[in-house]
Amino acid sequence: MAKKEEKTEYVNKDGKRLDGRKVDEVRPIKIEVGVIERAAGSCYMEWGQNKILAGVYGPREALPKHIQNPYKSLVNYVYRMASFSVPDRKNPKPGRREIEISKVSGEALESSIFLENFPNMTIDVFVEILDSNAGTRVAALSAASVALVDAGIPMRDMVCACGVGKAGGHLIADLNKEEEDAPDAVDIPIAILPSTEEIVLLQMDGLLQKKEWDSLVELGIKGCKQVWEIQKAALKKKYAEMEKDEAKAAAAKGKAEAQETEEFQ
């Protein structure tokens, strides 16, 4: 007699998921700002198992000249996955998925930047996925937004993003790989400008009922704002450390000048 296949319980009776999170809880996020010395701005992010490096270069002259826009700058967003970022080695050549994610993510960032301040220029944003486990596009976009702030690019607002969806009949935030592979899985990456809750990126893979859609949009905005708080905390930490370093340097300089004055006298 064939053994009955066990059905995966994506959310248990206590409201806990396979990895112990609540349905509206995002995975642990760690952000370090200013990790690439030669970039104008940079960010390293760990989001669950995902590990992402983002670097911003520019604004600089857009070349070749025929791509220049005399009214605004261009945003060149490049999303790439390292060959070793997935269990089966990935072809290093950018695939259709990477090209599509680069396009929609770049458009999301454009809505947050004062592009009119930099005519005929380009802002290059390079994002490399070092380790992947579901939700890389929203994590990469969130990391890129932090890197833009670190670069001092004038922005209307930050961009914060989070995935939401469905697994095992339950509506959940920030799906991991197991949840993305559920038989009834629905995956919706969503990005917003948090101050106004304007949606700047929205995609959907799967089918939903209207009442589920309304609930998921609300859940997505809540998840995005959790990410926003972590983004702000990481930036505040970096600038607080910079202020401490500047204060130490000023104190050391003052001490050295005082010693020189004493010796001269």
Please report whether residue 136 resides in a domain. yes
Q: 82-88 — which CB contacts under 8 Å span 24+ positions?
A: 82/128, 82/129, 82/130, 84/130, 85/129, 85/130, 85/131, 85/132, 86/132
Please report whether residue 92 resides in a domain. yes
Please report whether residue 238 resides in a domain. yes
Please report whether residue 263 resides in a domain. no
- Mean pLDDT on 214-232: 96
| Whole-number percent of the chain with pLDDT over 70 | 97
Please report whether residue 117 resides in a domain. yes
pLDDT tens by residue, 151-168: 999 999 999 999 999 999
Please report whether residue 17 resides in a domain. no
Between 218 and 239, name the one with better pLDDT: 218
The count of domains in the chain is: 1
Per the structure, the complete domain to which residue 85 belongs is given by: 29-254
Tell me the one-letter amino acid at 4: K
Between 51 and 239, name the one with better pLDDT: 51
Contact 75, 144 (CB under 8 A): no
Please report whether residue 161 resides in a domain. yes
Contact 137, 189 (CB under 8 A): yes
Between 54 and 211, name the one with better pLDDT: 54
Least reliable range by pLDDT among 36-40, 133-137, 154-158, 245-249: 245-249
Beta-carbon contacts of residue 87 (< 8 Å; ≥ 6 apart)? none
pLDDT tens by residue, 115-160: 999 999 999 999 999 999 999 999 999 999 999 999 999 999 999 9
Nearest alpha-carbon partner for 168 in 31, 8, 37: 8
Residue 265 pLDDT class (50, 70, 90 cuts): low
DSSP state of 146: H
**Kindly report the CA angle at 116 between 113 and 121, in degrees rounded to 5?**
90
Tell me: pLDDT of 1 over 50: no
Tell me: pLDDT of 4 over 60: no
Contact 67, 74 (CB under 8 A): yes
Tell me: pLDDT of 5 over 60: no
We report the CATH number of the domain holding residue 182 as: 3.30.230.70
Tell me: pLDDT of 245 over 80: no
pLDDT tens by residue, 71-82: 999 999 999 999
**Kindly report the CA angle at 19 between 16 and 20, in degrees rounded to 5?**
35
The overall average pLDDT reported for the chain is 92
**Kindly report the CA angle at 59 between 118 and 224, in degrees rounded to 5?**
95
Please report whether residue 262 resides in a domain. no
Which residues is 51 bridged to in the sheet? 46, 131
